[in-house]
Structure 1
């Protein structure tokens, strides 16, 4: 380990981290991210101070490094702090990071119809008792935005047991649980036997429910197969074919609205393809049934915007993008509603088809997964 070097009159420190990369860290960043007892609560890691408690004149006046830690003294106050070098390596920010608009996080894998041969599926009885099996299943949801679960009880409300594995139900105007079967006067086309184009649910909410679970209780009707489409892969294909169209759908907001229930009027204004400021692809909202007039696109761009909208719709409908399956009683699937679109083929009046659905949020799932991964690391 090379000795730490103080740079720019104490405004930064340079050192070689595990792996051999030389990285620079600003003094203000190091002080803000200190883990000593006066800066962080040792039980939960939350900061005990605000940025206003850190002088803007903070400088490093001494810095040494051994094989495991960086030791720093700050001025004013001669405040001494040490940092784990592996932690610094994980949180290094030095260096040029080129980002192409539409990049996806490394833990995500986009897919098309070829995913059919390797669907992520688990057994309810197994994930209910095995942390390793549950972690693998949740990891697949993070990776693909979609997974199935089999062998669940065939009883009303069983889907709540699925959500209990990782988080909490998000209740909406449709209730804690909503029934997906034919109704005489439905307040949503999902409650008919009609086929439905692949879509994300509730785009008229802000924020949208980020997870949806659909659980099968009966399915003897002809037709009614479920389909899923990776909205991220569709966005990637659109960008490859039509970069300007991708830019328009990510730069301008679409509008969505739902007023199908008494006393409910939900509206949102968001792009169909949502990017973070650094270009990361983080969301897709696509639901033709709930789209309201698009008025945020300038006149000169509207033709090209609609051409891109049409092409995205064609990609969503393309057979080589779709994974289809027919749920059996006791089976369910879960989708990342900010990414994966789901659809249904129409079904006949003979036989019966009864699914129950509910919403949950991805933060609970990712929290549970992170805890399981940390436990796994500690036991290795």
Structure 2
């Protein structure tokens, strides 16, 4: 007869569960193994005695949040699933996540929720910030620090004479990711609405990973072209300092499994130089056109309008953003302040917050 369970407890910051048996013996179970071998209907098909859990969805860093003795033969464990590898795809049906700015600044649970959602969904709207410059510097201090670029630690998106960036005009901005001209583009972008025009200026976003997966299913050859062709980008000008930047990027960066991990697409800074064989040029343009059409399709793009005090935070490696045109010269001139952060900094803060929040009890 198997002994009953006397006591259960979590060890090693929740990575192990220790079971003390009634006969005095004990066992230790790694939480990743317990998660991998979950027998619930969602994870295991009893009729086939087969695992349904997809291995790519397994979080190897999973920890137990609560563990209790259900009866002498069973224990109950509530796992805290890391959001580090999860993705929630979306299209025009996006329910834009919203969190008050003050909450994430002064409440660890809210900050943790913000960064988890940012990683999982790719976009979160922070509401109620002051309508003045400098709020993004505070946000940078909350996570660690902001990313300095050639446009400064923060930058002002306004209509400017002799604009050194197409964003500093009133025209429509097509879907793009920022800074593919850098070898390591900023991972996260912040845009704080300080002033908003009455007519026009609506923001548009699209889930690049979702669209990439659609393209892969719809036209594998086009997907392979965009994930293998090195595209030249260039940016030359003067701002925080003078700069002359050049870089080669693949429109769709993929990992060893062919899964999209970063989108590098900015038509404004795509160079006239295109260093590929002439016979491959037209197929590339056809593939990019198909990808761009998917980005702009009604089922994939989400349109919203920032209000003064809103700060939209999004994954610049995943979410492509754009803007509808607006008229200049009105009494209220549209003004956004922008900033970047690297994913290394954001993920560092997420891990620290997770440890602090989950170990609080």
TM-score (norm 2): 0.75
Q: C-alpha displacement at 1:161, in angstroms?
A: 1.3
Equivalent residue, structure 1, for 2:177 = 200
Equivalent residue, structure 2, for 1:372 = 353
Checking the alignment, whether the CA contact within 8 Å between 1:141 and 1:147 is kept in structure 2 is yes
Partner residue of 2:145 out of 168, 185, 192: 168
What stretches of structure 2 of length at least 5 have no aligned partner? 1-11, 13-24, 37-53, 57-83
Checking the alignment, whether the CA contact within 8 Å between 2:197 and 2:326 is kept in structure 1 is no
Can you list the C-alpha shifts for 1:308-365, whole angstroms capped at 9, x where unaligned? 1111111122222111111111111011111111101000122310111111111111
1:67 matched to 2:11: no
Q: C-alpha displacement at 1:88, in angstroms?
A: 7.1
SS of structure 1 residue aligned to 2:106: coil
1:314 matched to 2:258: no
Checking the alignment, whether the CA contact within 8 Å between 1:221 and 1:352 is kept in structure 2 is no
Checking the alignment, whether the CA contact within 8 Å between 1:215 and 1:356 is kept in structure 2 is yes
Checking the alignment, whether the CA contact within 8 Å between 1:252 and 1:296 is kept in structure 2 is no
TM-score (norm 1): 0.71
Once residues 257 and 230 of structure 2 are traced to their aligned partners in structure 1, the CA distance between those partners, rounded to angstroms, is 18
1:245 matched to 2:231: no
Checking the alignment, whether the CA contact within 8 Å between 2:115 and 2:350 is kept in structure 1 is yes
Once residues 327 and 354 of structure 2 are traced to their aligned partners in structure 1, the CA distance between those partners, rounded to angstroms, is 45
Equivalent residue, structure 2, for 1:285 = 264
Equivalent residue, structure 2, for 1:227 = 204
1:190 matched to 2:167: yes
1:218 matched to 2:195: yes
Once residues 296 and 66 of structure 1 are traced to their aligned partners in structure 2, the CA distance between those partners, rounded to angstroms, is 64
Once residues 126 and 55 of structure 2 are traced to their aligned partners in structure 1, the CA distance between those partners, rounded to angstroms, is 39
SS of structure 2 residue aligned to 1:323: strand
SS of structure 2 residue aligned to 1:201: coil
- Higher Cα Rg: structure 1 or 2? 1
Equivalent residue, structure 2, for 1:328 = 307
Q: C-alpha displacement at 1:188, in angstroms?
A: 0.6
What stretches of structure 1 of length at least 5 have no aligned partner? 1-34, 36-64, 69-84, 100-104
Q: C-alpha displacement at 1:183, in angstroms?
A: 0.6
Once residues 285 and 34 of structure 2 are traced to their aligned partners in structure 1, the CA distance between those partners, rounded to angstroms, is 43
Once residues 286 and 238 of structure 1 are traced to their aligned partners in structure 2, the CA distance between those partners, rounded to angstroms, is 15
Written as runs of structure 1 = structure 2, the 5 A alignment for 1:43-122 is 67-68=27-28, 85-86=29-30, 89=33, 106-115=85-94, 118-122=95-99
1:273 matched to 2:252: yes
Checking the alignment, whether the CA contact within 8 Å between 1:220 and 1:353 is kept in structure 2 is yes
Q: C-alpha displacement at 1:159, in angstroms?
A: 1.5
In structure 2, the CA distance between the partners of 1:305 and 1:129, relative to structure 1 (3 Å rule), is same
Q: C-alpha displacement at 1:300, in angstroms?
A: 4.3
Once residues 311 and 115 of structure 2 are traced to their aligned partners in structure 1, the CA distance between those partners, rounded to angstroms, is 14
Checking the alignment, whether the CA contact within 8 Å between 1:145 and 1:336 is kept in structure 2 is yes
Once residues 183 and 301 of structure 1 are traced to their aligned partners in structure 2, the CA distance between those partners, rounded to angstroms, is 38
In structure 2, the CA distance between the partners of 1:278 and 1:89, relative to structure 1 (3 Å rule), is same
Checking the alignment, whether the CA contact within 8 Å between 2:101 and 2:126 is kept in structure 1 is yes
Equivalent residue, structure 1, for 2:114 = 137
Q: C-alpha displacement at 1:302, in angstroms?
A: 3.0
Tell me how many residue pairs correspond in the alignment: 292
Checking the alignment, whether the CA contact within 8 Å between 1:181 and 1:355 is kept in structure 2 is yes
Equivalent residue, structure 2, for 1:149 = 126
Once residues 199 and 272 of structure 1 are traced to their aligned partners in structure 2, the CA distance between those partners, rounded to angstroms, is 11
Q: C-alpha displacement at 1:221, in angstroms?
A: 3.9
Equivalent residue, structure 1, for 2:334 = 353
In structure 2, the CA distance between the partners of 1:256 and 1:90, relative to structure 1 (3 Å rule), is farther
Root-mean-square deviation (Å): 2.5
Q: C-alpha displacement at 1:90, in angstroms?
A: 8.4
SS of structure 2 residue aligned to 1:355: strand
